[in-house]
Chains A and B, each alone.
Chain A
Amino acid sequence: MRAGLRKYFRIWTRTASMAMQAQLTYRLGSFGFLLGKMIRLLFFFAFVVAIFNHVDTVAGYNLVETALFFLTFNVVDMIAQIFFRGVYGARRTVAEGDFDFYLIQPCSPLFRMVCSTVDFLDIITLIPVLVMVGMVFARLPPLGWGRYAAYAALTANGVALIFAIHVFVAGLTVRTQELENAIWIYRDVMFMGKFPVDVYARPVRWVLTFGIPIAVMTTFPAKALLGLLTPAWAAYAVVLTAAALVLSARYWRGSIARYTSSSS
């Protein structure tokens, strides 16, 4: 087990190092993408702050609480972007036949496809987000370590749930060799996680909690920190993620079993 983990860690660091070298080689391009990501983050944050120059609360949340929801969304989303970036190139990997090579390597093809591309620009963008999270924590009343532990656990749970979605999309790509936009639908729908789920109408809230569980990924951690999440909902989040991981792994194995190689 430990040897296996060590092997995967070595593969990850090697591929991450190669990705970093590629990004450092293309300096202008990387700088443009980095600046774009920073602009997106800062403009949205400035928007949230500017809104609170005109109102005291939105859906019952004050500025610090709304900022917590927004930043939690960014933390979960960026961690997923950093570690599961490979899915964005899955269609090309399959269509160009590179996936055949993944299958004969002594390494999980799922790991190769989903986790072996790392976006270092997101790591750089995550730093100011974490600093802002720290500033928000400092403005909250004293909450006790239990709340922070629940926040950390549910954030990790959200990342795991996103991993399950990425595995499902990777399986879909292997099965169909199409649907390159499937992951972009996820990106667009994730936009809804920028705001606390309470801003949505009841049917939409229901869909975001039980159908496309963006609320579980982004709103639940912040609600747990604010003491607004009951243990039953926290348990639901964990059970849902476990079920999603099991089902997505099963779907992936089914996709591999049907795979007949689409190129050479």
Chain B
Amino acid sequence: MKKYLVAYSISLQETLQRRSTLIMDRVGGFAVLLSLYSFWNALLGTKPSFLGYTRPEMLTYVLLINILRSFVFTGRGWQLVGEISSGRISSYLVRPLSYHGYALSLDLAQKTVHVASAFFEVALLSALVRGGLFLPRDPATWALFLAAAVLASLLFFFMEFMVSSLAFWTSESGGPLFCFELFLAFAAGAFFPLDVLPEGLRRALSATPFPYMVYFPARVFLEKVSLAEGARLLAIEAAWLAVFLAAALAVWRRGVRSYAAEGG
């Protein structure tokens, strides 16, 4: 365990050392946040609610998108692709550590910094705009939201890991990964609540793991689902995580067997 804590600590220091990169990342993220907030604000106009979301709820959804994107969508996919393609991964395979555990430690370090920044941005924007925020009063809602967000983060990590592992067989896995990430961002509700979509499409998406990454945790936070229903959906999310954990590990094992250390 200690070696993963050291990896986490070093990665945290590295992320904080590259301050200009971090600040630029966050400025870009804040622009997207401001843009989405403004669009929804214009959409609401003088109406008390839109698609069942009141103004504070809609503002909270947009701000939650920022926090959940920072917490959920910070995988190690592109680094894995680079390490396999360049052969650098060989040096990790011969070390006495689990590559998944190591990658999770680095990912957690990134999440720590980005979530802290996201909270600052959210506080800034919520202080600047009118309308107020929706904050759940029931502690059970907070617990359910945290559980849903943690599972979402792990689900994304292993899904992305699985897609990135294509690099064991092809040097062109960047294309599928790019496509996967873009599709995921939309299907997860990371740009807009899925309630906007037609009923048929929304139902189809709810049969996939994607809405569990942003849309479901956000709905839990906004108390749009009852605690019982939330617990049921959390169980489904955990089942999806188990499926993708098993699949990612299976793909990894097969990939390592066929790995030829090209370029390394």
Chain B: residues with Cβ within 8 Å of the partner, total of: 38
B79 contacts the other chain (Cβ, under 8 Å)? no
| 150-181 of chain B: CB within 8 A of chain A | 170-179, 181
A3 contacts the other chain (Cβ, under 8 Å)? no
Docked-complex contact B175 and A178, CB < 8 angstroms: no
Which residues from chain B contact A181 at a C-beta distance below 8 Å?
20-21, 24-25, 28
Docked-complex contact A36 and B182, CB < 8 angstroms: yes
Query: What separation, in Å, do the CA atoms of A189 and B24 have in the docked complex?
Result: 11
Among A27, A53, A199, contact of B172 (Cβ-Cβ < 8 Å) = A27
B196 contacts the other chain (Cβ, under 8 Å)? yes
Docked-complex contact B31 and A191, CB < 8 angstroms: yes
Which residues from chain A contact B28 at a C-beta distance below 8 Å?
181, 184-185, 187-189
Which residue on chain B has the smallest CB distance to residue A203?
B128
B252 contacts the other chain (Cβ, under 8 Å)? no
Which residues from chain A contact B198 at a C-beta distance below 8 Å?
50, 53
Query: What separation, in Å, do the CA atoms of A189 and B170 have in the docked complex?
Result: 33
A200 contacts the other chain (Cβ, under 8 Å)? yes
- Annotate A34-57 by CB proximity to B: 1 below 8 A, 0 otherwise: 111001100110110011011100
Docked-complex contact A33 and B35, CB < 8 angstroms: no
Docked-complex contact B182 and A40, CB < 8 angstroms: yes
Chain A: residues with Cβ within 8 Å of the partner, total of: 43
| 11-70 of chain B: CB within 8 A of chain A | 20-21, 24-25, 27-29, 31-32, 34-35, 38-39, 41-43, 50-51
Among B24, B39, B186, contact of A195 (Cβ-Cβ < 8 Å) = B39
Docked-complex contact B192 and A47, CB < 8 angstroms: yes
A32 contacts the other chain (Cβ, under 8 Å)? yes
Query: What separation, in Å, do the CA atoms of A40 and B181 have in the docked complex?
Result: 10
Known: A54-B51, A188-B28, A188-B31. A36 touches B42 (CB 8 A): no
A28 contacts the other chain (Cβ, under 8 Å)? yes
Docked-complex contact A194 and B35, CB < 8 angstroms: yes
The distance from the CB of B34 to the nearest CB of chain A, in whole angstroms, is: 7
| 197-225 of chain A: CB within 8 A of chain B | 198-201, 204
A128 contacts the other chain (Cβ, under 8 Å)? no
Docked-complex contact A200 and B38, CB < 8 angstroms: yes
Query: What separation, in Å, do the CA atoms of A34 and B38 have in the docked complex?
Result: 29
Docked-complex contact A199 and B38, CB < 8 angstroms: yes
Docked-complex contact A35 and B179, CB < 8 angstroms: yes
A179 contacts the other chain (Cβ, under 8 Å)? yes
- Annotate B176-199 by CB proximity to A: 1 below 8 A, 0 otherwise: 111101110010000110001110
Docked-complex contact A28 and B24, CB < 8 angstroms: no
- Annotate A58-89 by CB proximity to B: 1 below 8 A, 0 otherwise: 11000000000000000000000000000000
Known: A28-B172, A29-B172, A32-B176. A195 touches B43 (CB 8 A): no
The distance from the CB of B199 to the nearest CB of chain A, in whole angstroms, is: 11
Which residues from chain A contact B35 at a C-beta distance below 8 Å?
191-192, 194-195
Docked-complex contact B38 and A184, CB < 8 angstroms: no
Known: A181-B24, A181-B25. A31 touches B38 (CB 8 A): no
A101 contacts the other chain (Cβ, under 8 Å)? no
Among B29, B42, B173, B182, contact of A29 (Cβ-Cβ < 8 Å) = B173
Docked-complex contact B32 and A191, CB < 8 angstroms: yes
Which residue on chain A has the smallest CB distance to residue B175?
A32
Known: A47-B191, A199-B38. A29 touches B183 (CB 8 A): no
Given contacts A27-B172, A30-B175, 17 further A-B contacts (CB under 8 A): A30-B172, A32-B174, A33-B174, A39-B182, A40-B182, A44-B191, A50-B198, A55-B43, A181-B20, A184-B25, A188-B32, A191-B35, A192-B31, A195-B42, A200-B38, A204-B34, A204-B38
Nearest first, the 8 closest Cβ-Cβ pairs linking A and B are A32-B175, A188-B28, A29-B172, A29-B175, A36-B179, A199-B42, A181-B24, A28-B172
CB-defined A-B contacts under 8 Å, sample of 25:
A26-B175, A29-B173, A29-B175, A29-B176, A32-B176, A36-B181, A39-B182, A39-B183, A47-B196, A50-B198, A51-B43, A178-B20, A182-B24, A184-B28, A185-B24, A188-B31, A189-B31, A191-B31, A191-B32, A191-B35, A192-B34, A192-B35, A195-B38, A195-B39, A199-B38
